[in-house]
Amino acid sequence: MEESQRQKKIASVLQRDLVDILQGAATQGGMRGIIISVSKVRVTADLTDAKVYLSIFPNNKAKELLEGIRANKPMIRHELAQRTKNQLRRMPVLEFYVDDSLEHIDKIEKSLKGEDNPIQNPDLLDKRSKG
């Protein structure tokens, strides 16, 4: 189903403010050199839930950071509510996921260049989850 204009607008507001909150928390937390970007936010039709897809660089820190972000979800949600209080009546419940699309694209490019050939080595093709 197509997203409504309201869903897109709320997703855009959440995305912009989440980038500020997460990047600020990373730099204050002493994690220099780590880049956290919010690649996509999807809001449900009833505006109660929001799926937040994060791109984290370097990729080897993604799982650790995602656990930390999920542990601090109430604090992040509160900070977000403070920033958007004039735009939203209710703050959606946030669910965070790692966006692995860049990593997947990189694997495809390597395969196309002949560096990794999935036909000769089928183990290169991992099962990709749908988000």
94 and 108 co-located in one domain: no
How many angstroms separate the CA atoms of 14 and 77, rounded?
10
How many angstroms separate the CA atoms of 48 and 53, rounded?
17
Number of independent structural domains in the chain: 2
61 and 19 co-located in one domain: yes
The answer to whether the predicted template modeling score (pTM) of the entire model surpasses 0.85 is: no
Higher pLDDT, 41 or 100: 41
79 and 125 co-located in one domain: no
pLDDT of residue 125: 65
50 and 29 co-located in one domain: yes
Q: Please check whether residue 98 is in contact with residue 57, taking contact to mean a CB–CB distance below 8 angstroms.
A: no
Sheet holding 35-43, edge to edge: 35-43, 49-57, 93-98
pLDDT tens digit sequence for 47-96? 999 999 998 877 787 888 888 889 999 999 999 999 988 888 889 999 99
Centre a 10 Å sphere on the Cβ of residue 96 and count the other Cβ atoms it contains: 19
121 and 68 co-located in one domain: no
Domain that holds residue 45: 5-99
